[in-house]
Amino acid sequence: MEIRELRYFVAVAEELHFGEAAQRLGMAQPPLSRAITQLERRLGIALLERTSRKVTLTAAGDVLLAEGRAILSAVTAAERRTRRAATAHPSLVLAVKSGTAGELLTKLLDAYAAEPGAATVELLLCEAHQHQLLLQDGQADVALLHLPFDSAAGLDTETLYTEGQVAILPASHPLASRSQIRMADVTTLPELPMARWPGPSGSYPEGPGAEVRNLTQLFQLIALGRTTVVIPESASADLRRDLAAVPVLDAPPVATAIAWPPHSRLRTVADLIRVATRL
Amino acid sequence: MEIRELRYFVAVAEELHFGEAAQRLGMAQPPLSRAITQLERRLGIALLERTSRKVTLTAAGDVLLAEGRAILSAVTAAERRTRRAATAHPSLVLAVKSGTAGELLTKLLDAYAAEPGAATVELLLCEAHQHQLLLQDGQADVALLHLPFDSAAGLDTETLYTEGQVAILPASHPLASRSQIRMADVTTLPELPMARWPGPSGSYPEGPGAEVRNLTQLFQLIALGRTTVVIPESASADLRRDLAAVPVLDAPPVATAIAWPPHSRLRTVADLIRVATRL
DNA sequence: TGCAGCGATACCTGGTCGGTATCGATCTGC
DNA sequence: GCAGATCGATACCGACCAGGTATCGCTGCA
């Protein structure tokens, strides 16, 4: 199996249409058909069911689609990382969800900078769930993320610390003066539906709450009395004066973790992880 | 970058000798030289430093070696999994370190077998640290392993339960009658050096203790008064009569976890994991 | 029934993969 | 210090295969 064949198969499996897949690949349709047929013959397996009107995946094709995508991104990651390793200046790209771990991040960067042989750390601010892609295709070397919210599938992680969660409410809201509340208290407010974050696919779950992408948007909507949210305690540092944070007793604890691709051989990554776990 | 080129590069990078690499690949040396040169030219990066007497890896080459190995095993895994998915009978290969999780394993298999649509579960008994390879190259679908002993780098895991550790001693040993001991008590016995297990690379760490590969060997050597060991409590069920297990208070807790490759799309794997976490 | 859409097939051309022969450099031993 | 051995690079060649165009055959639809 060659990368080229995988790229072809993934394109066809995603488009489920030879002509459009060929166009996306910048080639003519006949060689694409032939390449797929040959791949199937070499594997001895049918990957696609085709009539002259419709193309569908077989069970085997479904598996190969998932595997193939992973391999393709691993290949582009390999190229990127190799290229990076060849440049003289050792640098390190750290992906951080904007608004995450303010104080921890400062301490981490300071502590790492004090290490002998520390590389320049580039910060790559990203949106929720984007870490994984960035690490997987080699655009980032390390990431800070929140478990169990951010998926760390296929990554190695080390938990740095855990914390409780707080509900963010308009300062004038009746619950805002409470010293602590429970999940049930905030999830059942009809006038303040919980804000919705985009899922791993980038689409929003169904629900009445506002759709938000970052903390600024979120805080503005909460101040306007349109929504509320339960977030890790540390994300509520330096809150606007018109908002209040109330600890939610039974919200699941959130871990801030450092994550890296499992086969990383970069000394700089190992150093950063070591420093982080010692904080 | 093509798989073929990666395979060539990994061979050369491992042998550090074009001639032997070519032999291992079953080809002549000149086309191999040319393929590597072309790969370097396309990447625009030197991967190898060669004099006519010695070949060494550049920093970039070192990175690509690690990435390349991962990609190659991902490719063979993809082929194997695709082929498996094409067979009519859905089956599931579960890798278990021999001697692990006796009771838990029974319960898991029973519970899974009771699921609607359960696949036939094949057990693949393996030695320490082998799980990872088996999962990575697609020979197994799921594994039971012990954290933090077995590395789960690049795998997704779910912890099933945690337990303490016990020291295994000859029944006649003075410490054997104690109800509990500490690590310091067993690590400092000059007449009973701790047994050594093979590391992830397959080689044994330095030390005075006996080299062992499995529990049978181990127990025999302990009974003979040659060594001792600290292992998870559950592994000491049904101990020989001439051995004793003593809880070690300050030994790190051991988690038995179920692990699977991060991109697994098999419904059967998802089912097994769900059943396992509910146990 | 005729047409449009789509994948498969037939056929051609150029690139490239892999082979053999050989060169040039470097290390070794007498 | 020189001859031979070792090893990677280069030159050249044949076979294969990737990719292109033209066209066929099937299928759903008006």
- By CB atoms closer than 10 A (0-12, 13-18, 19+), residue B148 is exposed
Q: Is residue B32 part of a domain?
A: yes
Task: Scan for tokens 């750290």, then name that residue.
Answer: A94
Nearest CA to B36 out of B64, B75, B76, B69 is that of B64
Q: What is the radius of gyration, based on Cα positions, of chain B? A: 23
Each residue's pLDDT tens digit, A188-243: 877 778 888 887 777 788 877 778 777 777 888 888 888 888 888 887 777 788 88
- DSSP 8-class letter at B209: S
Residue ranges with strand state E in A2-148 = 48-50, 55-57, 91-97, 120-126, 142-147
Both A171 and A158 in a single domain? no
Return the SS3 of B118: coil
Inter-residue contact B10 to B76 (CB < 8 Å): no
Q: Which residues lie across from B230 on neighbouring strands?
A: B167
Query: What type of residue sits at position B166?
Result: V
How confident is the model at residue B273, as a pLDDT?
Answer: 92
Distances A77 to A83, B63, B64, B114, B188 between C-alpha atoms, Å = 10, 11, 10, 42, 47
Chain B residues inside the 8 Å CB shell of A47: 82
Both B131 and B269 in a single domain? yes
Both B239 and B201 in a single domain? yes
- By CB atoms closer than 10 A (0-12, 13-18, 19+), residue A107 is middle
Both A11 and A72 in a single domain? yes
Q: Is residue B33 part of a domain?
A: yes
How confident is the model at residue A75, as a pLDDT?
Answer: 92
Nearest CA to A19 out of A58, A53, A68, A65 is that of A53
CA atoms within 13 A on the CB side of A261: 29
- By CB atoms closer than 10 A (0-12, 13-18, 19+), residue A207 is exposed
Q: Is residue B83 part of a domain?
A: no
Count of all residues that appear for chain B in the document: 279
Peptide bond between residue B116 and the one before it cis (omega within 30 degrees of 0): no
How confident is the model at residue B99, as a pLDDT?
Answer: 64
How confident is the model at residue B71, as a pLDDT?
Answer: 92
Both A40 and A64 in a single domain? yes
The mean pLDDT value for A99-121 works out to 83
- For chain B, residues with pLDDT lower than 50 are none
Peptide bond between residue B174 and the one before it cis (omega within 30 degrees of 0): no
Inter-residue contact B29 to B19 (CB < 8 Å): yes
Distances A134 to A7, A259, B79 between C-alpha atoms, Å = 20, 11, 26
Q: How many domains does chain B have?
A: 3
Question: From the CA of B60, how many Å to the C1' of D9?
Answer: 22
Both A138 and A183 in a single domain? no
CB contact under 8 A, B153 and A265: no
Residue after which a domain boundary falls, among A18, A50, A83: A83
Chain A residues inside the 8 Å CB shell of B3: 1-3
Both B267 and B220 in a single domain? no
Task: Scan for tokens 């701790």, then name that residue.
Answer: B194
How confident is the model at residue A60, as a pLDDT?
Answer: 87
Pairing status of strand B142-147 against strand B91-97? parallel
How confident is the model at residue B272, as a pLDDT?
Answer: 92
Q: Would you call B133 an interface residue with chain A, using a CB distance cutoff of 8 Å? A: no
Residue after which a domain boundary falls, among A83, A111, A135: A83
- Look up the CATH number of the domain holding residue A49: 1.10.10.10
Query: What type of residue sits at position B85?
Result: A
How confident is the model at residue A190, as a pLDDT?
Answer: 75
Number of helical (H) and strand (E) elements in chain A, helices listed first = 9, 10
- By CB atoms closer than 10 A (0-12, 13-18, 19+), residue B32 is buried
Angle between helices B18-25 and B3-15 (to 10 degrees): 130
Chain B residues inside the 8 Å CB shell of A79: 1, 43
Residue after which a domain boundary falls, among B22, B53, B78: B78
Q: Would you call B82 an interface residue with chain A, using a CB distance cutoff of 8 Å? A: yes
CB contact under 8 A, A79 and B265: no
Both B147 and B260 in a single domain? yes
Q: Is residue B270 part of a domain?
A: yes
Nucleotides of D under 7 A from a protein CB: 6-11, 18-23, 25-28
Both A138 and A261 in a single domain? yes
Distances B106 to B67, B98, B260 between C-alpha atoms, Å = 38, 13, 19
Q: Would you call A45 an interface residue with chain B, using a CB distance cutoff of 8 Å? A: yes
Both A180 and A157 in a single domain? no
Full residue range of the structural domain in which residue B204 is found: 165-252
Q: Would you call A85 an interface residue with chain B, using a CB distance cutoff of 8 Å? A: yes
Nearest CA to B102 out of B123, B130, B132, B131 is that of B123
The mean pLDDT value for A154-178 works out to 86
- Look up the CATH number of the domain holding residue B151: 3.40.190.10
Nucleotides of C under 7 A from a protein CB: 5-10, 17-22, 24-27
Number of helical (H) and strand (E) elements in chain B, helices listed first = 9, 10
Tokens of B63: 């990175």
**Residue B259 Cα to chain centre, angstroms:** 11
- DSSP 8-class letter at A210: P
Each residue's pLDDT tens digit, A54-101: 888 888 888 899 999 999 999 999 998 998 888 867 788 998 886 666
Start-end of H helices in chain B? 3-15, 18-25, 29-43, 59-86, 102-113, 130-136, 183-187, 215-223, 267-278
- Chain B nearest-CA distance from A36, in A, is 15
Both B195 and B142 in a single domain? no
Question: From the CA of A117, how many Å to the C1' of D8?
Answer: 35
How confident is the model at residue B98, as a pLDDT?
Answer: 67
Question: From the CA of A34, how many Å to the C1' of D28?
Answer: 25
For the ranges A145-149, A163-167, A260-264, B208-212, the lowest mean pLDDT is seen at: B208-212
Chain B residues inside the 8 Å CB shell of A46: 86
Pairing status of strand A91-97 against strand A120-126? parallel
Question: From the CA of B31, how many Å to the C1' of D15?
Answer: 15
Residues 1-20 of A with CB under 7 A from strand D: 4
How confident is the model at residue B132, as a pLDDT?
Answer: 84
Inter-residue contact A18 to A55 (CB < 8 Å): yes
Distance CA A86, CA B43 (A): 10
Distances A17 to A58, A70, B139 between C-alpha atoms, Å = 15, 21, 32
Q: Is residue B59 part of a domain?
A: yes
Q: Would you call A250 an interface residue with chain B, using a CB distance cutoff of 8 Å? A: no
How confident is the model at residue B274, as a pLDDT?
Answer: 92
Chain B residues inside the 8 Å CB shell of A200: none
Both A73 and A113 in a single domain? no
